[in-house]
Amino acid sequence: MNVQSEETLRATILDSLLSVAPDIDAAALDPHLEFREQFDFDSMDYLSLATALHARLGVDVPEVDYPKLGSLDGCVRYIADALSRRSSP
């Protein structure tokens, strides 16, 4: 994935995260740290985030993979991988 598309994907994921948890301070978000360690993020929030990502990007995230969405960096890796698998023949 090139830098521009990764930045675009990161921005889209961050926007989806903020739609689920609007009280998050995006400027203070550490992309490496788990969401649960940074703010009150529970299993329903993960479900809402997975639903938002599906709506925005068309990626299905099964419940077993929710832990892979634990941080912003984790979300970017997971979604980038899912999108690349989808576009491969």
Does the pLDDT of residue 2 top 60, yes or no? no
> Is CATH 1.10.10.10 the classification given to domain 3-87?
no
What's the start-to-end Cα distance of the chain, in Å? 17
Per-residue model confidence as pLDDT tens digits over 40-85: 888 899 999 999 999 999 999 999 999 999 999 999 999 999 998 8
Which of 2-16, 26-40, 58-72 has the lowest average pLDDT?
A: 2-16
Could you count the other beta carbons within 10 Å of the beta carbon of residue 42?
Answer: 10
